[in-house]
Structure 1
Amino acid sequence: MTEEAYDRAAELITGADAVLVCAGAGMGVDSGLPDFRGTEGFWRAYPPYERLGLKFEEIADPVHFADDPALAWGFYGHRLGLYRATVPHEGFAVLRSWGARVFTSNVDGQFQKAGFADVAEVHGSIHHAQCVEPCTDEIWECSFDVAVDPVTMRAVGELPSCPNCGGLARPNILMFGDWGWVPHRSQRQLDELTEWRRSHRKLAVVEIGAGTAVPTVRRQAELASAASGALIRINVREPEVRHGPRGVAAGRRAGSTHSLGTTNCVTTAR
């Protein structure tokens, strides 16, 4: 990233009356969390699923809670334990010092752990659960632990249950092909974010670690910054900014292309 781009990003942030952080999986990598980018990346993080031939989008599917709940809870139970044990990196504190509000596709709860009060989790949270059926639209905090066999990645012992009907519980996460997700907790967060955005005309948007494979976060960042044009995109693989006269894109690889206003430039790694 060039000094000019750094200065431009700082100018956008200091000139704004509010900052919105739009974060994807890349935000947690420096905390030691896997980003599951591509099948190979997922299998490096979870070798047992390579042996089973299961891709991320296949294991992150609600059908397993009906067909093989021990397999389903093995995956989500392991992630629940991992996210509970992970300490957010120092970048979270920097963003918090700006008084930033957060929109994220991450379900790991790292922003809340870092002290953020206003977080819109568009895909839900692994720290909350719901009934598999669902028998009710109730959502509750996960106060349970799930024991997982590290070799088979299957849950062992009693599985989490719904306090209402006694049936199987599942994470309150929007999965692939998911018609049973209970969305009202996330929708409330999103509605509050929309109202907050409308009250800030000079909004700077800092998008971090959000790719194009599942473009939810990138679209939100572009939408939120459309009026001000103040978008700072931090992405090591896909840094291009499509719109706006003031966007700044930042990558960290030599030869990556950045958009700085209407001028394209090539920067080298620092």
Structure 2
Amino acid sequence: MDNDAAIRQAARWICDADGLLVTAGAGMGVDSGLPDFRGADGFWRTYPALRHYGYSFEDMANPSGFASNPSLSWGFYGHRLALYRATVPHAGFGILCAWASVMKQGAFVFTSNVDGQFQKAGFDAERIVECHGTIHRLQCVDACTDETWPADDFSPIVDEASCLLENEMPMCPYCNGLARPNILMFGDWNWVDGNAERQKSRLSKWLKSVKRLVVVEIGAGRALPTVRRFSECHGPRVIRINPREYWIPPDKGLGISGGASGVIELLDNAKKRMGT
């Protein structure tokens, strides 16, 4: 199926649906100006200091750094926190919200992104699953408690030349030890997953209420296939949007080549031509 035919079929599915499940990977944020960490070069373009140190994304997204070099780990995550706070979600988010507003059961989001962009764009925070956690909440490095708390009071100051945090690091209010983002990292045995599990429970309940589900998957790659696998579990009407890795088994859905904002706009225009 070529792209034009796929867009027409996908628009028909969206028009017919009574519930929208948005599943999203890192590619969802690229059109908002967020960096693409695909490969070492993409990562190092954003963090040239880490090229100098020889650190990869996998090295930095690792809880061991908070023990060996906490100022560098918090420099990396603090920069990301400030960036995500300043980012304005692209127009595609609003279009998805508009589609959901006329569906009987509305929308739910399942995302591996930790940036909080769906909440900022107006999606109901109670209808979002952040399967890898969120940078906007903190937890104890040693997981002394199952509690997490908002990062609102932490305003990181980062020296971009060295990627080191210059102000005080956030501390755990329960044990006075170091705090870290409530994000699932590589080799992470101390991630506090209670919030994500509660989110998944709400999603499971919502799915039971939907009779004609459509899944719009955006920017989810094969390198970490959590989102892709989740989408395919909820076929057969999965619309996979991806500039390169858009293939999907035909019994699960259809693939559309392109970026998030552009394809969502094409789908919206196709819907309007159908009179919905």
TM-score (norm 1): 0.90
User: Contact 2:3 / 2:257 at 8 angstroms: preserved in 1?
Assistant: no
Aligned equivalent of 2:262:
none
Matches within 5 A, 1:1-270: 2-99=3-100, 100-117=107-124, 118-142=127-151, 143-225=153-235, 229-244=236-251, 247-252=253-258
User: Contact 1:131 / 1:167 at 8 angstroms: preserved in 2?
Assistant: yes
User: Contact 1:197 / 1:224 at 8 angstroms: preserved in 2?
Assistant: no
Amino acid of the residue matched to residue 201 of structure 2? D
Write the distance in 1 (CA, Å) between the matches of 2:258 and 2:183. 31
Alpha-carbon distance, 1:157 to partner: 2.5
Q: Hey, which bits of structure 1, 4+ residues long, moved more than 4 A?
A: none
Amino acid of the residue matched to residue 111 of structure 1? F
Taking only the aligned residue pairs, the percentage that are identical comes to 55
Alpha-carbon distance, 1:243 to partner: 4.3
Alpha-carbon distance, 1:165 to partner: 1.2
Aligned equivalent of 1:256:
none
Unaligned 5+ residue runs, structure 2? 101-106, 260-276
Write the distance in 2 (CA, Å) between the matches of 1:53 and 1:201. 51
Tell me which protein shows more helix as a share of its residues: 2
Alpha-carbon distance, 1:46 to partner: 1.2
Q: Deviations over 1:214-250 (max 9, x none)?
A: 000001110122xxx10100000101012416x2201
Alpha-carbon distance, 1:35 to partner: 2.2
After superposition, the CA RMSD in angstroms is 1.2
Write the distance in 1 (CA, Å) between the matches of 2:247 and 2:223. 14
Write the distance in 1 (CA, Å) between the matches of 2:143 and 2:179. 9
User: Contact 1:23 / 1:106 at 8 angstroms: preserved in 2?
Assistant: yes
Write the distance in 1 (CA, Å) between the matches of 2:185 and 2:241. 26
Equivalent pairs, count: 249
TM-score (norm 2): 0.88
Write the distance in 2 (CA, Å) between the matches of 1:41 and 1:7. 34
